[in-house]
Amino acid sequence: MSSHQSKMRVENLKKHFTANQGLLDRLLSRGDREVVKAVDGVNFDIREGESFGLAGESGCGKSTLGKTLLNLHDSTDGSIYFDDADITTQTGREDIAFRTEAQLIQQDPFNSINPRYKVFDWVKEPLDVHSLGTRDERTDLVMETLNEVGLRPAEAYASEYPTELSGGERQRVGIARALVLNPSFLVADEPVSMLDVSVRASVLELLNRLKEERGLTTLFISHDLSLLKHMCDRIAIMYLGQIVEVGPARQLINDPQHPYTEALVSSTPIIDPDVERERIRLEGEVPDPINLPSGCRFAPRCPKVMDECWDEEPRMYDVAEEQEARCILHDEAHADKDVSVGGAQATSD
Ligand SMILES: Nc1ncnc2c1ncn2[C@@H]1O[C@H](COP(=O)(O)OP(=O)(O)OP(=O)(O)O)[C@@H](O)[C@H]1O
Ligand SMILES: [Mg+2]
């Protein structure tokens, strides 16, 4: 039994989209409706106060998962427990409470802010929507929040239009809007990837400070493994709608146990003098989440693929303390085998 308190727990979560077909095809019911399995059977647990990282190549389902967790998408199947209540079945007052507790920080500070709003009104809007506080209380709260995210003096920023601000400042406005409802859970979806490299560190530092001061639990989505290693307690690696590896951040990156993680890590420049790596080239493209391969989803690109990999989808195996990987190389049946079967040997340790 785990001694950790769970903030969000996901069981067999699926989000499938029905791909767009032409109107005529639909009217004539021509062809099968194609289903995009963006999230396809995900299980994990985010602990109270934890920063949980989510990485994987473009299109693997990270944003869809993040939005489904916030109830911004209806899930296709599975359960999402937030503070032990299943949000997929909540309605009315409970649903509204969840929508104040859990907030999204978006990737794009340029398009996610309505340019017709002044900063003050943009940050205040969620309070208006939820009819929280008196007019004066709302004003005070907006000003305090602007201060907290480093937009100082708050009075000066409050009357600006977002178009007058830099990217870093706009992202702080986005963070203020997410914080004004005093949430306990954040999804930060690539929160610095659109920002100038020079301001990224200060925005990340802000997110770290908020985690400490407010005790926030965060799902941190990023392509950048070295950023996640720095920001997160644990990391999950996603491939074609599924989690293929999860573990403590440093441990997972220093000693990946799934060939996909290994390949991702080896293609990421991570500055760590303790670890030496060979580069593994990932061949091919991510297959389309409509026509999934049978067996292991990574088999068509895996440098260590074996015959059995095509037979059935692998389960998660315990591979180290708190670390799990979805790869049959960790099955007892392969305990005697050299892990380099069939291809490039990855790390030398
Ligand atoms: N609203 C939608 N309708 C149909 N398909 C969608 C929709 N949103 C996402 N998808 C598809 O779901 C899959 C996962 O997309 P998603 O945006 O979640 O990936 P991602 O991991 O966030 O990628 P990136 O790193 O590029 O942001 C993709 O194949 C995408 O085309
Ligand atoms: Mg995305």
Tens digit of pLDDT for each residue in 314-339? 999 999 999 999 999 999 888 766 55
Q: Which amino acid is at 293?
A: P
Residue 212 has pLDDT above 90, yes or no: yes
Helix, strand, coil percent values for the chain (each to nearest 5): 35, 20, 45
Tens digit of each residue's pLDDT (9 = 90 or more) over 47-106: 999 999 999 999 999 999 999 999 999 999 999 999 999 999 998 999 999 999 999 999
Please give the mean pLDDT across all residues of the chain. 89
Q: Do β-strands 234-239 and 242-248 pair in parallel, antiparallel, or remain unpaired?
A: antiparallel
61: CA distance to ligand 1 center in Å? 5
Predicted confidence at residue 286, as pLDDT, reads 74
18: CA distance to ligand 1 center in Å? 12
126: CA distance to ligand 2 center in Å? 24
For the residues 296-311, what does the mean pLDDT come to?
94
DSSP letter string, 185-233: EEEEESTTTTS-HHHHHHHHHHHHHHHHHH--EEEEE-S-HHHHHHH-S
List, in order, residues 6 or more apart from 133 with CB less than 8 Å away: 127, 141
Residue 348 has pLDDT above 70, yes or no: no
For the residues 135-160, what does the mean pLDDT come to?
97
Predicted confidence at residue 273, as pLDDT, reads 54
For the residues 275-285, what does the mean pLDDT come to?
66
56 Cα nearest atom in ligand 1: 21
Which of 15, 18, 36 should be mutated for ligand 1, with most atoms under 8 A from CB?
36
342 confidence band (pLDDT: 50, 70, 90): very low
Residue 183 has pLDDT above 70, yes or no: yes
Predicted confidence at residue 282, as pLDDT, reads 77
At 92, list the tokens. Answer: 């009315």
CB 226 within 8 A of CB 269: yes
**Cα–Cα distance for residue pair 277/253, rounded to 1 Å:** 11
Predicted confidence at residue 343, as pLDDT, reads 36
Predicted confidence at residue 1, as pLDDT, reads 47
Q: Show the ligand 1 pocket: residues with CB < 6 angstroms.
A: 17, 36, 38, 56, 58-64, 289
Residue 277 has pLDDT above 70, yes or no: no
142: CA distance to ligand 1 center in Å? 33
Phi and psi at 37, nearest 5°, equal: -90, 75
% residues pLDDT > 90 (the chain): 76
200: CA distance to ligand 2 center in Å? 18
Predicted confidence at residue 335, as pLDDT, reads 72
Ligand 1 atom 7, closest CA: 17
Predicted confidence at residue 346, as pLDDT, reads 41
284 confidence band (pLDDT: 50, 70, 90): confident
Predicted confidence at residue 241, as pLDDT, reads 96
Q: Residues 104, 110, 112, 116: is their CA dihedral positive or negative?
A: positive
Ligand 1 atom 4, closest CA: 17
Q: Is the peptide bond before 153 cis (omega within 30 degrees of 0)?
A: yes
Exposed e or buried b per residue across 193-221, where buried means at least 16 C-beta atoms within 10 angstroms of its C-beta = ebbeeebbeebbebbeebbeeeebbbbbb
For the residues 275-304, what does the mean pLDDT come to?
79
Residue 280 has pLDDT above 80, yes or no: no
